[in-house]
Amino acid sequence: MIIGIPRSLFYYKYGTLIKTFFNELGIDYVISNPSNKKILEDGKTLAPSESCMNLKLFLGHVKDLENKCNFLFIPRFESVNKGEKLCTNFYLLPDLVRNIFEEHIIDFNVNVNKGKTMKSAFIELGLYLGFSYNKTVNAYKKALETDKKVKNNLLLKQTNTLNNSNKKILIVGHSYNIYDEMIGKPIINTLEENNFSIIYADICDEKEKNDELSSSIYFTYNKELIRAINYYKEYVDGIIIISAFPCGPDSIVNDLIIRKTKDIPIINLIIDEVSSNTGILTRLESFMDIINKESAYGK
């Protein structure tokens, strides 16, 4: 049995957890290729025209897994924190994929607001795949340990970056935007080529408390990004927000971030499937010039 995992949306948040869980159970899996033009074009033909670029990419990644696996793993994430929600894309995925593709789907449901925790979802998945309760629980514990270790290492590396002498840019965006080859990677590569150090808003101590603004936000991942801005802004020279068009939660929250964030250069880069990298990179170059000039004048 080979399980296919799309390299999109939930993968960048929970990929370590999922892959370690399958590894511990001895399950073979395959991950779709990094985003490319073909994957995006395939997704555009499958998704409703008004869908965001992330959903189009996701469907393209599912298409990329055709004939490579026996089952597709398409989990449903509705809420991961009490009283909060995720974007609706995260909990329509299994239904959408079933309506479009003929492949067999394996899913689970995480909805903390209704008592369906991450742990119970993974245990249900292990039992469904035919493993014993004890083996499933042990696999989940190992997955949690590995995920925590990876996050701690990333946090330590970022802490070291904060202490170097380079000019620093805080990248604010969902992990599935920041690390995607067609959305965030060209921006990050350009910054690094120009000797800027990158601080990632999705790498932040989870114990950081909500501030007044983040406490008012309903969407979990946006709330986390606002907390990260509040934590890192005094250590960086500028902030770049990366969004994919037309994301509903981001369109609301990013405007709040820009209006509430004072005394530091900030820019919002919105990527869509018809954007050229040239236009985005031109705006990015102008922003880097602003940072360099302010730095030169000691601001």
Could you tell me if residue 157 is inside a domain? no
Residues 6+ apart with CB under 8 A from 33: 7, 39, 61, 64
Q: Do 136 and 213 have their domain in common?
A: no
Could you tell me if residue 105 is inside a domain? yes
Return the structure tokens found at 50: 């008004």
**pLDDT mean over 150-156:** 95
Could you tell me if residue 200 is inside a domain? yes
pLDDT in tens, 209-219: 566 666 778 78
pTM assigned to the model: 0.92
Q: Do 85 and 191 have their domain in common?
A: no
| Residue 252: per-residue pLDDT | 81
Q: Do 141 and 240 have their domain in common?
A: no
pLDDT in tens, 216-235: 787 889 888 988 998 999 99
Amino acid in position 211: D
Q: How far apart are CA 43 and CA 56, in angstroms?
A: 4
| Residue 25: per-residue pLDDT | 97
Q: Do 54 and 106 have their domain in common?
A: yes
| Residue 210: per-residue pLDDT | 60
Q: Do 125 and 7 have their domain in common?
A: yes
Domain total in the chain: 2
Host domain of residue 281:
164-296
Could you tell me if residue 96 is inside a domain? yes
**pLDDT mean over 112-123:** 96
Q: Do 291 and 236 have their domain in common?
A: yes
Binning pLDDT at 50, 70 and 90, where does residue 249 land?
Answer: confident
Mean pLDDT across the chain, nearest whole number?
Answer: 91
Could you tell me if residue 189 is inside a domain? yes
Q: Do 120 and 217 have their domain in common?
A: no
Domain boundary among 146, 177, 209: 146
Q: Do 39 and 73 have their domain in common?
A: yes
Q: Do 224 and 105 have their domain in common?
A: no
| Residue 125: per-residue pLDDT | 96
The residues that bridge with 110 in the sheet, in sequence order, are: 77
What CATH number has the domain bearing residue 268? Answer: 3.40.50.11900
Binning pLDDT at 50, 70 and 90, where does residue 108 land?
Answer: very high
What CATH number has the domain bearing residue 17? Answer: 3.40.50
